[in-house]
Amino acid sequence: CNISFEPVNRAKLLLSLVGILAIIWLGLWIAQGWGTITLVFDKKPLSSVLRSFTSQSKLKIITDIDLNTPITIQVRHVPVTEALEALQAAAESRGSLAVLLAPDTTSMKNLFSTLPNPKADSGTLSIEYRTPWLFRGTTGSLPIDRDPREQVWSPSPQLPLQLLPLLEHAAQTTEVRLVIPQSWNPTLKKTPSDGPLSSSIPKLAKSAGGEAQLVYVLPARSERDGPGTPPSTQEANRGTLRWTEPTPLPPDALLTRLESRIRYLPSSEQGDARQAAQESVRQYREWSSLTTEDERDKKRQEIMNDPARAERAGEGFSRAMRKMSPEQRSQRYNRYVQRRSTQKGG
């Protein structure tokens, strides 16, 4: 049996090689852009920006900001978290991931109708513990989840199998706002499991005989709000640490949040980061134990004058400012000057 081979055509070989490289490049390009967000708008209505974001991320945004507000934003192929940071800067708001849990569809619709800021008599309970503003600088240099929905919740086995205690634990150990009907606190059918918020909280709702929906809440800015500033007293009906806070974030929960981000660092950097986190939590314990405003003011000045803390906070502030347009930075500075003049005049 005679077998003959045709001589390999050099042009065909080169063409095949180019084709293979093109396929590999295309695959890498798709993989790199998978799950990322691109928002390129110049003074376009907020409604257009939100529609584009939701289309790409599958995360609905609830806001009471005028949807005709002109927005300028320029981000390309960035993770969901970074796109949300840029969106908050562009809208001059402070948003949060929220999960709505309800026993039925009618109750769920009612929860949606109360957002972004449920009134005290709405029958809605909003559970949220933001990282304390004074200690937020600690987190500035730590890695963050590419998507806030990827935050992992690990329920404590010591908690009772009731919905409310479990939601309190989830709100304390992750950066999430949980919204439920005030009178709903059923016993669970089974112990909840660990997992990202996108799956663990919906499973928790199902175990409670209800349903859940994930959204992002972007409330209108108050006069004091903006990236890098303390939260205002106009926020939702509980949970956010303000200068005086009836339900502050427990120090152990703050440490849990910091630890969850430290684990993403290279092992060579984790030791120093853990030491800085523990020092920040120690200061927070001291702050939390103070009872008079004079004591807190003295401690506040001490913390803010700490060079290490100032450097970390400065990184976060600079990042927030870079996401603003020059016009927004100018407006923000003018508002600051105006507030200072009012305070001195008063």
In order along its 346 residues, the chain shows pLDDT tens digits of 555 545 556 666 677 666 666 565 544 444 444 469 999 999 999 999 999 999 999 999 999 999 999 999 999 999 999 999 999 999 999 999 999 999 999 999 999 999 999 988 999 999 999 887 777 766 767 888 899 999 999 999 899 999 999 999 999 999 999 999 999 999 998 889 999 999 999 999 999 999 999 999 999 976 444 444 444 434 434 333 333 344 688 999 999 999 999 988 999 999 998 998 898 899 889 888 888 888 888 887 887 777 766 565 555 555 555 555 666 656 655 655 555 555 455 4
Separation CA 334–CA 159 (nearest Å): 49
- pLDDT at residue 293 in the model: 82
Q: Are 210 and 222 in contact (CB under 8 A)?
A: no
**Half-sphere exposure (Cβ direction) of 178: Cα atoms closer than 13 Å:** 28
- pLDDT at residue 201 in the model: 98
Question: Beta strand 70-78 with 195-196: parallel, antiparallel or unpaired?
Answer: unpaired
Sequence-distant (6+) residues with CB within 8 A of 270 are: 262, 263
**Half-sphere exposure (Cβ direction) of 68: Cα atoms closer than 13 Å:** 0
Structure letter (DSSP) for residue 137:
G
- pLDDT at residue 143 in the model: 83
- pLDDT at residue 120 in the model: 87
Separation CA 38–CA 40 (nearest Å): 6
- pLDDT at residue 70 in the model: 96
Other residues' Cβ atoms within 10 Å of the Cβ of residue 190: 10
Q: Of 270, 336, 295, 308, which Cα lies nearest the Cα of 140?
A: 308
Q: In a 10 Å sphere around its CB, with 0-12 CB exposed, 13-18 middle and 19+ buried, how is residue 113 labelled? A: exposed
Sequence-distant (6+) residues with CB within 8 A of 268 are: none
Which residue reads 């853990």 in tokens?
274
Separation CA 52–CA 39 (nearest Å): 7
**C-alpha separations of 141 from 10, 119, 129, 138, 144 in Å:** 53, 36, 21, 7, 9
Structure letter (DSSP) for residue 229:
S
- For 14-43, letters b (16+ CB in 10 Å) and e give eeeeeeeeeeeeeeeeeeeeeebbebebee
